[in-house]
Amino acid sequence: MDSYRVTAFGAPLALQSEPTPVPTGRQVLVRTTGCGVCHSDVHLHEGSFDLGGGKKVDMTRSLGLPRTMGHEIVGEVVGLGEGVDPGEAAVGQHRVVFPWIGCQQCPVCKSGDEHLCNQPRALGINCDGGYASHVLVPDPKYLFAFDGLDENLAATYACSGLTAYGALKKAREAVRNGGDLLIIGAGGVGLSGVRMAEAVTGVKPIVADLDKSKWAAAREAGAREVIDPTDPESGKALYRMTNGGVAAAIDFVGAAASFTFGFNALRKSGRLVIVGLFGGSASLPVPMIPLKNATVMGSYVGNLDDMHELMTLARSGKVPGLPIATRPLADANEVLSSLAAGKIVGRVVLRP
């Protein structure tokens, strides 16, 4: 098998060839047909997430080089371990892979939240992922059918779709008694959020993005209004538009400015859900949290149940597609650079 691997943080991915693994036990071997390039791959490739103020989350130990990135994987089942029953998976099936795998032993994993395990075995992060001709999946329960959907789009459900879905589920609780939804950031994941916002929450979102080149895509994806959060008048305009603030805001950027904008946009009892990992450090007048009766919470991808719900929603045709471009896997380095430079609208799926 061929893999494009991180062999040194920040250095171009290196093409490595090795014997294709033979699945054992519960393992399933998948021949990759597509792998989405996620913005978090840019940070993983650099080896850290920026926390602002010169601080960083070190990812170098989590990755353990050399590592094949890529966690939005779609492919064909080409091999099964002896412990996989017929009916769980079969050679020739085309499947999306749920990559947010945990140790499968701890209380968190046993409660179903493998994506929050402290000993994660996530594909493309802690274990080898989809920037490769083949991927070894530890159990057939991580494979999802996507009948009727474009396979490149289906690949993106494993991270950008799931992340958007998980955040929208949290926002849904805040808008269930009426009120507006603000989505900050209309990049890859944010745009997925805009596209499925109405299907998940029942509300058409207001979208804030400082990059006007993303406005047309946001409108087409179902935004009720699009605003520029850097416009000094935008806060007041939003306040008027929503009669006193939004019930829920989802920050798909995760920078100091987007966090502050999102928090200030909340009405009383509003909920700010932070998803983005752009980086930065913000200060907030602490009394505003109780005075607004506000909730500030994070949302990290989603669990296997969320993935089941999302795939059911998607297969019922309620999640319109997002703009997807495909590139050969050999262009992985170029695509990562373009993504780091903010030059990509929607999603790029690499095809081995």
102 sits near Zn ion (criterion: CB under 5 A) = yes
Q: Please calculate the CA angle 301-302-304 and round it to the nearest 5 degrees.
A: 140
Residue with tokens 């990059």, as numbered in its chain: 211
175 sits near Zn ion (criterion: CB under 5 A) = no
38 sits near Zn ion (criterion: CB under 5 A) = yes
The binder of Zn ion chosen from 30, 109, 181, 184 (CB under 5 A): 109
159 sits near Zn ion (criterion: CB under 5 A) = yes
| DSSP designation for 316 | T
Q: Which stretch binds Zn ion (CB under 5 A): 4-12, 75-83, 153-161, 250-258?
A: 153-161
Q: CB neighbours of 335 closer than 8 A, spacing ≥ 6?
A: 37, 327, 344, 348, 350
DSSP string covering 50-89: EEETTEEEE-HHHH-SSEE---EEEEEEEEE-TTPPTTT-
103 sits near Zn ion (criterion: CB under 5 A) = yes
Q: How far is CA 59 from CA 44, 49, 67, 175, 335, in A?
A: 7, 7, 12, 35, 21
275 sits near Zn ion (criterion: CB under 5 A) = no
- Residues in the interface with Zn ion (CB under 5 A) total 8
135 sits near Zn ion (criterion: CB under 5 A) = no
Beta carbon nearer to Zn ion, 103 or 344: 103
Beta carbon nearer to Zn ion, 38 or 248: 38
Q: How far is CA 171 from CA 104, 190, 322, in A?
A: 28, 14, 21
Beta carbon nearer to Zn ion, 109 or 218: 109
Residue facing Zn ion at closest CB distance = 38
40 sits near Zn ion (criterion: CB under 5 A) = yes
Residues forming contacts to Zn ion in the complex (CB under 5 A) are 38, 40, 102-103, 106, 109, 117, 159
